[in-house]
């Protein structure tokens, strides 16, 4: 991702730290570079979009903007959460459009050194591997770095191929 300036920078300077917003999707800890996170909101009154890809949870109104919500559990091939009351969403801008990634819950913000980042394990489920940018070993947990551009980019591409 060349347009990912933060990452380019880190390649040169491995000691740099990046701030990650941590999120939980089905008990797995993920991290999103804070620079990509525009909003954290509670998805309300979502409108389903018939015939859309199953990952598209629907569209919703976020302060006058129409946001396309992506069900991250489906995106990762996980079963949908039963308790739909307490969902959270991360607002992302991608190619000048607003998207909301629907997740289980939001954790904290962590400062992590790039040097402690490790590559994605080769035996990871391909569905996960394709949207993971790396793994951080935390004290009591592993945090998978979510590559936002691939999460959304792959979906748009697939549609274009299909169409």
Q: State the number of binding residues for another protein (CB under 8 A).
A: 31
β-strands 97-103, 65-71 pairing: parallel
124 near another protein, judged by CB under 8 A? no
99 near another protein, judged by CB under 8 A? yes
Answer for which of 47, 105, 116, 141 binds another protein (CB under 8 A) is 47
Closer residue to another protein (CB): 9 or 49: 49
- Residue of 151, 148, 152 whose CA lies nearest to 20: 148
Q: How far apart, in whole angstroms, are the C-alpha atoms of residue 8 and residue 31?
A: 18
156 near another protein, judged by CB under 8 A? yes
Q: Which of these segments, 7-15, 30-38, 44-52, 82-90, binds another protein (CB under 8 A)?
A: 44-52
53 near another protein, judged by CB under 8 A? yes
Query: Quick check: helix, strand or coil at residue 55?
Result: coil
Handedness of CA 80, 86, 90, 95 (dihedral sign): positive
How near is the Cβ of 123 to another protein at its closest, in Å? 11
Per CB under 8 A, which of residues 57..76 are in contact with another protein?
A: 58-61, 64, 66, 68, 74
How near is the Cβ of 101 to another protein at its closest, in Å? 13
20 near another protein, judged by CB under 8 A? no
Decide: 120 and 42 in contact? Cβ < 8 Å. Answer: no
Q: Which residues contact residue 86 at a Cβ distance below 8 angstroms, ignoring those fewer than 6 apart? A: 104, 105
Q: Which residues contact residue 107 at a Cβ distance below 8 angstroms, ignoring those fewer than 6 apart? A: 21, 22, 23, 24, 29
> Site residues (CB under 8 A) for another protein?
45, 47-54, 56, 58-61, 64, 66, 68, 74, 77, 79, 95, 97-99, 152, 155-156, 159-160, 162-163
């Amino acid at each position: 991702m060349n347009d990912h300036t933060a990452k380019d920078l880190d390649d040169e300077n491995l000691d740099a730290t990046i701030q990650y917003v941590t999120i939980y999707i089905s008990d797995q800890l993920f991290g999103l570079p804070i620079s990509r996170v525009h909003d954290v909101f509670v998805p309300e009154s979502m409108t389903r979009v018939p015939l859309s890809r199953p990952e598209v949870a629907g569209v919703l109104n976020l302060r006058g903007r129409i946001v396309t919500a992506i069900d991250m559990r489906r995106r990762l091939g996980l079963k949908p959460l039963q308790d739909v009351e307490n969902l959270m969403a991360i607002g992302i801008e991608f190619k000048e459009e607003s998207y909301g990634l629907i997740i289980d819950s939001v954790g904290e913000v962590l400062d992590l050194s790039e040097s402690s980042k490790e590559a994605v394990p080769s035996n990871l489920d391909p569905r996960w591997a394709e949207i993971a940018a790396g793994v951080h070993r935390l004290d009591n947990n592993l945090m998978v770095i979510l590559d936002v551009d691939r999460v959304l980019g792959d979906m748009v591409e697939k549609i274009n191929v299909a169409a």
